[in-house]
């Protein structure tokens, strides 16, 4: 026993030491918590507050987007999320179950109300383990009406949680400009809403607002304490944004694009309507597009084509080349030049006019603009104005920088201006690129008497709670590239491209009751290999127009890329199917009074039989008609159309003179109708080959013929001309490969002609 005593003492001492150490650790821990009030870096008071208080998030309402007339474009609306309780412990009274008791029946009923297969719903309802489940996208954003109908079904375990959704009442409505919102969970497990694309993205912080909270104290088990104080932090709703978009005009545009998209199935449609006096964008749209509510179609195009994609403008660029030439006082409408083809340098590929490079002989510069002659504008830049001066105007018109519109991801075009030929091809819109919005901005200078207006999409930002205007966006002048006198003269010239029946390329864009000034364009499309695509459909057909000419209230730009058109359809047809109804409907909606139609109404053909040639010609020309004399006598013996017939300005009137000799006129580019008139008055037998306009005639112009002879004409449609043009290009390019070009540029070795269907 005595031998065990020392071992017992050692053990006791060890235990005493251990318990003493634990005691001191406990005392230290207690004092540490007492002094710092923290455990593992967390404040105990805050944890206690969290334990004994209930906090509810008060969601901020996202700001509403309105159009210029206070019509709602995008707003938050109440929505519900469908939830199914699966945990049986939630049911305390079997007669009133609080969980899903019949998954098969529940799945069958729910499949009638949400976009999910019954089998998938059943699979979710029969999962083991989860307390509750949701139904993904199909179960979110449930409307109040659907919620009410489901509640009438009295399905046990089916409940709803309240929330909100972004609502776009107009459906597909300038979707790339407006954008959409997306909901995602953050790291704290809370749902956050963020804007994607358009205004929803660029003004996300303005629209979002700030969530509030409601805190109420509770006991240990989570029950609210009686008379507990509520700590409320109000939500700060997002601000409202008022756009310059006009819902009515945007609807005109959407409807017109839908018709063309359905009928011609183009690769792309781009369209903008603007107020030239303020720069306000009244409508903007494109195809393909998407539905902002469902996102259907978003996979086809994520980009706003009007500001994020550049194009070669084609002959619409001649608007600004003409403006620069007029401003520099080098444009003489009556001066003549030799049309057809033109070489910038002796060894460069020729610039050619769109009719196989044949041109129309020696014509005036005014007629060159009306006919959309590439040679005309090339000579104006290279020989009259100078390429350096022209380059300054490109900057003045804003083509080398973004417009600064209040939309995300805007880009700028690229001005190709290194080699001599590039400097000249820019004059008719080839090689150099720009965005459609840059074209519209530049056009405001022509329409607004020299003042170029910065495009504006936001009118004002308003506090959604107080109605106070936080920010008012005023119209801004982006530059004054031309004078008011120049702008007026350019508009008058561009009007003749629409009204002149013989030479004008814009005849399809006539609008009854309104004078339209504008320029057509048919731009080639570069392929992946850097060469232009070939084929009759592979063009970007466009029109940049303004009306009324004398004081434009609207600018409309429309471009249709690669429409599916047949051989008899001009590429301007699908473009005019958008431009014409949108322009006319919008002018009428804005109460713009129609102008007199002196130039395009029908005129009665006067009787000139028995009159001398000079007198007859003068009388017809004063009436707006074009006389064509087919004899060498002194008096007029017959005419077609006959006297008293109503006809349009510019109509050819065939005049036969006394004597038996008949002189054959040059019928190049005549319609078959005019050719038939000549054959009838000359008493010739007429045969034709093909359709369209005259490109060849069997009897040379100026030849004397007798009645009864045969006249054969070959007709070609504009699309057939394009195919022949492509063959000519290939021939030119193959010849150019064997030449040595001093300023070896890739642009020099590419075809420089723009093919225009006009």
Residues taking part in catalysis: 315
Quote the DSSP letter at residue 475.
Answer: -
3-state helix/strand/coil string of 214-233: EEEEECCCCCECCCCCEEEE
Residue pair 506/519 in contact (Cβ under 8 Å)? The answer is yes
Task: Give CA–CA dist 560/570, Å, rounded.
Answer: 12
Decide if 130 contacts 46 (C-beta within 8 A): no
**Cα 416–418–423 angle (5° rounding)?**
65
Q: Could you tell me whether strands 646-647 and 685-689 are parallel, antiparallel, or unpaired per DSSP bridges? A: unpaired
Q: For the CA atoms of the chain, what is the radius of gyration? A: 38
Nearest residue to 561 via CA among 272, 754, 282, 311: 311
DSSP 538: -
Reading the block at residue 520, the tokens are 């057509």
Task: Give the helix ranges, DSSP H, for 460-593.
Answer: 484-499, 572-589
58 DSSP β-pair partners: 212
Tallying the residues shown for the chain, one arrives at 758
**168/125 Cα distance (integer angstroms):** 32
Is the distance from CB of 441 to CB of 398 less than 8 angstroms? yes
Task: Give the DSSP letter string of 343-356.
Answer: -SSTTSPPEE-TTT
- Yes or no: say if 500 and 492 are a contact pair by the CB < 8 Å rule: no
Q: How far apart are alpha carbons 739 and 734 in whole angstroms?
A: 10
Q: Which of 261, 424, 235 is nearest to 343 (CA)?
A: 424
The 3-class SS string of 409-431 reads CCCCCCCCCCCHHHHHHHHHCCC
First to last CA, the chain: 126
Burial class of residue 644 (count of CB atoms within 10 Å of its CB; 0-12, 13-18, 19+): exposed
Inter-residue contact 85 to 157 (CB < 8 Å)? yes
């Amino acid at each position: 026993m005595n031998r065990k005593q020392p071992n017992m003492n050692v053990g006791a001492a060890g235990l005493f030491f251990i318990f003493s150490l634990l005691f001191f650790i406990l005392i230290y821990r207690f004092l540490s918590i007492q002094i710092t009030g923290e455990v593992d870096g967390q404040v105990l008071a805050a944890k206690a507050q969290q334990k004994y208080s209930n906090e509810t998030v008060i969601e901020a309402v996202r700001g509403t987007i309105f159009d210029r007339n206070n019509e709602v474009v995008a707003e938050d609306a109440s929505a519900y999320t469908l939830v199914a309780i699966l945990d049986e412990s939630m049911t305390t009274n079997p007669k009133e179950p609080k969980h899903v008791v019949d998954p098969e029946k529940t799945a069958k009923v729910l499949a009638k109300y949400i976009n999910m297969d019954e089998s998938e719903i059943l699979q979710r309802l029969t999962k083991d383990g989860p307390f509750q489940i949701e139904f993904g996208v199909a179960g979110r954003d449930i409307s109040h009406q659907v919620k009410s109908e489901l509640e009438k079904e009295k399905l046990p375990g089916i409940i709803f949680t309240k929330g909100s959704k972004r609502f776009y009442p107009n459906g597909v409505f300038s979707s790339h400009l407006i954008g959409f919102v997306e909901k995602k969970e953050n790291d704290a497990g809370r749902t956050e809403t963020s804007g994607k694309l358009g205004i929803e993205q660029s003004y996300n912080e303005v629209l979002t607002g700030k969530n509030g909270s409601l805190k109420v104290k509770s006991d240990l088990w989570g029950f609210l304490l009686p008379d507990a104080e509520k700590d409320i932090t109000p939500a700060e709703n997002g601000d409202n944004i008022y756009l310059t978009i006009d819902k009515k005009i945007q609807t005109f545009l959407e409807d017109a694009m839908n018709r063309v998209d359905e009928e011609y199935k183009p690769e792309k449609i781009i369209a903008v309507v603007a107020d030239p006096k303020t720069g306000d964008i009244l409508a903007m749209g494109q195809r393909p597009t998407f539905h902002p509510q469902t996102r259907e179609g978003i996979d086809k195009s994520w980009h706003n084509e009007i500001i994020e994609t550049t194009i070669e403008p084609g002959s619409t660029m001649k608007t600004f080349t003409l403006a620069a030439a007029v401003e520099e006082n080098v444009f003489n409408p009556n001066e003549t030049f030799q049309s057809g083809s033109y070489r910038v340098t002796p060894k460069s590929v020729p610039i050619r006019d769109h009719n196989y490079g044949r041109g129309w002989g020696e014509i005036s510069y005014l007629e060159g603009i009306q006919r959309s002659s590439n040679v005309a504008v090339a000579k104006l830049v290279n020989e009259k104005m100078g390429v350096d001066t022209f380059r300054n105007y490109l900057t003045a018109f804003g083509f080398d920088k973004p417009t600064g519109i209040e939309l995300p991801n805007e880009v700028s075009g690229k001005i190709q201006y290194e080699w001599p030929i590039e400097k000249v091809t820019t004059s008719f819109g080839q090689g150099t690129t720009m965005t459609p919005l840059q074209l519209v901005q530049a056009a405001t200078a022509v329409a607004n008497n020299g003042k170029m207006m910065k495009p504006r999409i936001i009118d004002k930002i308003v506090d959604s709670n107080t109605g106070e205007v936080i920010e008012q966006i005023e119209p801004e002048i982006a530059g004054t590239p031309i004078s008011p006198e120049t702008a007026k003269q350019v508009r008058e010239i561009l009007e003749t491209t629409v009204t002149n029946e013989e030479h004008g390329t814009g005849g399809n864009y006539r609008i009854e009751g309104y004078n339209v000034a504008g320029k057509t364009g048919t731009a080639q499309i570069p392929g992946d290999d850097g060469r232009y695509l070939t084929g009759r459909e592979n063009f970007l057909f466009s029109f940049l127009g303004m009306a009324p000419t004398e004081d434009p209230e609207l600018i409309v730009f429309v471009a249709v890329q690669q429409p599916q058109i047949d051989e008899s359809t001009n590429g301007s047809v699908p473009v005019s199917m958008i431009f014409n109804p949108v322009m006319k409907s919008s002018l009428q909606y804005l109460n713009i009074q129609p102008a007199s139609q002196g130039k395009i109404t029908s005129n009665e053909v006067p009787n000139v039989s028995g009159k001398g040639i000079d007198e007859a010609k003068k009388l017809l020309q004063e009436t707006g008609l074009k006389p064509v004399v087919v004899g060498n006598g002194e008096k007029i013996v017959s005419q077609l159309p006959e006297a008293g017939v109503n006809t349009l300005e510019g109509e050819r009137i065939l005049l036969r003179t006394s004597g038996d000799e008949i002189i054959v006129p040059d019928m190049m580019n005549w319609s078959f109708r005019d050719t038939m008139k000549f054959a009838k008055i000359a008493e010739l037998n007429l045969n034709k080959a093909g359709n369209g306009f005259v490109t060849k005639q069997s009897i040379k112009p100026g030849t004397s013929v007798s009645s009864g002879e045969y006249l054969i004409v070959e007709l070609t449609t504009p699309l057939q001309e394009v195919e022949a043009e492509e063959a000519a290009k290939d021939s030119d390019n193959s010849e150019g490969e064997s030449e040595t070009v001093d300023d070896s540029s890739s642009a020099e070795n590419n075809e420089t002609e723009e093919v225009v269907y006009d």
